[in-house]
Amino acid sequence: MGKFENTTGSNWASQDAASLHINGNVEYPTREEFYTNYPFYKYWNSDCNDHLLVPEGINIYIHIPFCIQICDYCFYMKELIRSKDQVDEYVDCLCKEMKMASEHFSLGRRKVNSIYIGGGTPSVLTEQQFKKLSECLHKYHYLTADTEFAFEAEPGTFSKSKLEWYKESGVNRISMGVQSFDDEVIRQSSRKHTAVQAIHSIDILREAGGFELNIDLLSGLAGETTDSWDRSVDTAIEQGTDMLTIYKMKTYANTNFFKKGVRGKEIELPGQMEEVSLMKRAMDKVFAAGYDLWSTFAFTRNGCKSRYIEHTWRGQDMIAYGASSFGKLASFNYQNFNNIHLYVQKVKMDVMPVYRTYAMSYKDMIVKELLLCAVRLFSYTKKEFIDKFGFDYFKLIPDVMSELVYKGYITDATDELVLTKQGVLYGDFVSKVIASSVKEVFAGDAIGFVY
């Protein structure tokens, strides 16, 4: 019968014969509907006009992979500095990549909300290298006085004069990877600085002024004891920094810690329960010192926070520059080539150095928001999620949320997910439970997840 078949016989035109039962009501067919758009125009208003007319700001990550030493716990893409020419060539490629990306994606008119230069060790750049990079940033991107410009620095790798270069270029936030204030723990991590040098570097930053300062500690390093950890946390608090971030040391397979402490027995790494005990002690000390929780591993004073992390976790576009760097544009996640030689080769050939991509579905975006924002950020209301995605995840997985309350991971608040102290300690576990439960509900339809 061609493309369609009369399945209702001689009654095909009868309304009664073709009626449907929908949501408890009988729906009769009509030919009055003619849909041209959704949502229907009567629901439109001018509330979001500015979001259309003023493009959302972007965030920028720049990877500097060079180091003066390879830390035994580090799993990031890095390389020992061999020569000034090696770094000069890389900085030249970063500048060329900025020009290509800015022109290709029309980035020049989009306000830059935040910049983060990470590594590796960005503070090993010479004045000439840093100023060239900074000039290109200002040339190809729209920076304002409000742009957060964050820079990673390692103790002992910068001076007062370097800090002046940074300030002149707009850097207003320094994140210092101290990791430990105990010399023996530092030595077992194959780092070159001492606790005294780290404190001296913090003093230099404080004297220079004009920077928000975050310092990182790592819980669970080789050689750590309760006493050494207490000293590190106490010393970190004494520095009075704006933000204190305490990461859990994770032993990845591409690290020397994995080779020495997992495959071999050259070093002894704290076990899981030991590390949990260390983090509990740190939280007690940090809260007692007047710091507030900003995320499940970052503590703040006077409202200081990382706008780069917050913007990117909340899904704003992130432009990635440099070898192995990760970015996001619209629904596409992407990574540059994770080999310095290949990265340089592609850029010199006038080719965007994109290595791989992942096109995120709407479901992926929801799961990402739950993993990174709903649990990790200490101020993320349920209303924010509903306004963005259109449903209440509390009601989507009510049994799971009730169990998290019952087991003491979250409070019984109904307008926002609020972690208990135990929930903060096991924040990523809570994230995984919620995200996995939502994925399980979503995967019940024909379009599941590939991971």
Give yes or no for a contact between 382 and 415, defined as CB atoms under 8 angstroms apart. yes
Residue 393 pLDDT more than 90?
Answer: yes
Residues 282-305: what's their mean pLDDT?
94
Express as a percent the part of the chain with pLDDT over 70.
95
H/E stretch holding 395: helix 393-396
What's the confidence (pLDDT) of residue 6?
Answer: 56
For 94, phi then psi, to 5°, come to -60, -45
What's the confidence (pLDDT) of residue 1?
Answer: 46
**Three-state SS at 9:** helix
What's the confidence (pLDDT) of residue 450?
Answer: 60
What gap in Å lies between CA 145 and CA 49, rounded to an integer? Answer: 25
Q: Band of the pLDDT at 112, cuts 50, 70, 90?
A: very high
What's the confidence (pLDDT) of residue 253?
Answer: 83
Q: Band of the pLDDT at 231, cuts 50, 70, 90?
A: very high
Q: Band of the pLDDT at 449, cuts 50, 70, 90?
A: low
Tens of pLDDT along 362-387?
999 999 999 999 999 888 899 999 99
Count CA atoms within 13 Å of residue 34 on its CB side.
Answer: 2
Question: Which of the two residues, 95 and 20, has the higher pLDDT score?
Answer: 95
What gap in Å lies between CA 214 and CA 241, rounded to an integer? Answer: 6
Q: How many C-beta atoms surround the C-beta of residue 258 within 10 A?
A: 18
Which residues contact residue 80 at a Cβ distance below 8 angstroms, ignoring those fewer than 6 apart? Answer: 66, 67, 68, 69, 70
Residue 35 pLDDT more than 80?
Answer: yes
Tens of pLDDT along 160-206?
998 999 999 999 999 999 999 999 999 998 888 999 999 999 999 99
What's the confidence (pLDDT) of residue 447?
Answer: 58
Write down the H helix ranges in 24-78. 49-53
Residues 55-81: what's their mean pLDDT?
89
What's the confidence (pLDDT) of residue 34?
Answer: 82
- DSSP state, 397? S
- Copy the structure tokens of residue 69: 């030493």
- DSSP state, 302? T
Question: Which of the two residues, 3 and 431, has the higher pLDDT score?
Answer: 431
What gap in Å lies between CA 277 and CA 266, rounded to an integer? Answer: 24
Residues 347-358: what's their mean pLDDT?
97
What gap in Å lies between CA 279 and CA 277, rounded to an integer? Answer: 5
- Mean pLDDT over each residue of the chain, to the nearest integer: 91
- Copy the structure tokens of residue 184: 């023996």
Residue 27 pLDDT more than 70?
Answer: yes
Residue 52 pLDDT more than 70?
Answer: yes
What's the confidence (pLDDT) of residue 444?
Answer: 76
What gap in Å lies between CA 361 and CA 46, rounded to an integer? Answer: 27
Provide DSSP, 355-373. Answer: EEEEE--HHHHHHHHIIII
What's the confidence (pLDDT) of residue 94?
Answer: 98
Residue 410, strand partner residues: 419
- Cα–Cα distances (Å) from 162 to 64, 65, 312, in that order, read 16, 19, 28
Q: Band of the pLDDT at 313, cuts 50, 70, 90?
A: very high
What gap in Å lies between CA 325 and CA 268, rounded to an integer? Answer: 32
- Cα–Cα distances (Å) from 171 to 6, 141, 143, 321, 330, in that order, read 71, 15, 11, 17, 27
What's the confidence (pLDDT) of residue 12?
Answer: 55
Domains within the chain, CATH numbers bracketed = 55-312 (3.20.20.70), 373-442 (no CATH)
- Copy the structure tokens of residue 127: 């004045």
Closest CA to 298 of 217, 382, 403, 177: 217
Residues 144-150: what's their mean pLDDT?
96
Say which residue the tokens 């849909």 belong to.
35
What gap in Å lies between CA 101 and CA 380, rounded to an integer? Answer: 32
What's the confidence (pLDDT) of residue 28?
Answer: 87
Residue 27 burial (C-beta neighbours within 10 Å; 0-12, 13-18, 19+): exposed
Residue 158 pLDDT more than 60?
Answer: yes
What's the confidence (pLDDT) of residue 224?
Answer: 93
